[in-house]
Amino acid sequence: MSEYSIVPAQECHVAALAEIELAAAQLLIGYAPHSVLSEATARTVLVEAAHDGHLWVALSGDTPVGFALVEMLAPDLPHLQEIDVHPAHGRRGIGTALVRAVCAWSTGNGYPQLTLTTFRAVRWNMPFYSRLGFVEIPPDKLPPQLAAVVAQEAARGLLPTARVVMAYRCPATATAP
């Protein structure tokens, strides 16, 4: 990881993120429909997230090679909406560093938890997040905001049975700045 840094995204980083997202999506062929794999997050969403402090990039020098995007589902519910690392830079700890940066941000801002949805059966998805302290939220325990995320994913062709909702419980000792 010494050749990489994780920093809050600036607007100048946004142009590189669609290529990273689309390249990373190719690793999910066979798990997600082509329509999902060919989507990239809208530039306007990424620019707004960068301005709001909800977007982090992994840099190799000055070049983005990965990113993490948080969406606020409610004032106290940050959701890791997207995390991608370009496959050419994969398996070097970049994804772990991005997730840890977002977890630290969530904790530092006093949020009780950070949530995400991911693939249940993809070996580098659910097990990866479990190793980082995320736990499954049973479907019958989902707050309405997370149930809406699952429904939106289903409308895009992602089967709810193939997905899992997880949460990182931020340490209770964290206080807002």
Mean local confidence (pLDDT), 8-17: 98
Confirm if 94 and 58 have CB atoms less than 8 A apart: yes
- Give the pLDDT of residue 62: 96
| Alpha-carbon span 146 to 113, nearest angstrom | 12
Give the up-direction half-sphere exposure of residue 174: CA atoms within 13 A in the CB hemisphere.
16
Mean local confidence (pLDDT), 119-147: 96
User: 176 in a domain, yes or no?
Assistant: no
The pTM assigned to this predicted structure is 0.95
User: 177 in a domain, yes or no?
Assistant: no
User: 121 in a domain, yes or no?
Assistant: yes
Q: Please state the domain count of the chain.
A: 1
Where residue 68 sits, what CATH number does that domain have?
A: 3.40.630.30
Q: Which two tokens stand for residue 104?
A: 């630290």
Confirm if 67 and 59 have CB atoms less than 8 A apart: no
**Best CA proximity match to 106, nearest among 158, 56, 38, 45:** 56
User: 53 in a domain, yes or no?
Assistant: yes
Query: Whole domain around residue 52: which residue ranges?
Result: 4-169
pLDDT(2) > 90: no
pLDDT(75) > 60: yes
Which pLDDT tens digit goes with each residue over 84-109? Answer: 999 999 999 999 999 999 999 999 99
User: 69 in a domain, yes or no?
Assistant: yes
- Give the pLDDT of residue 11: 97
Q: Where are the alpha helices (DSSP H) in 26-93?
A: 34-37, 43-52
Average pLDDT score over the chain: 95
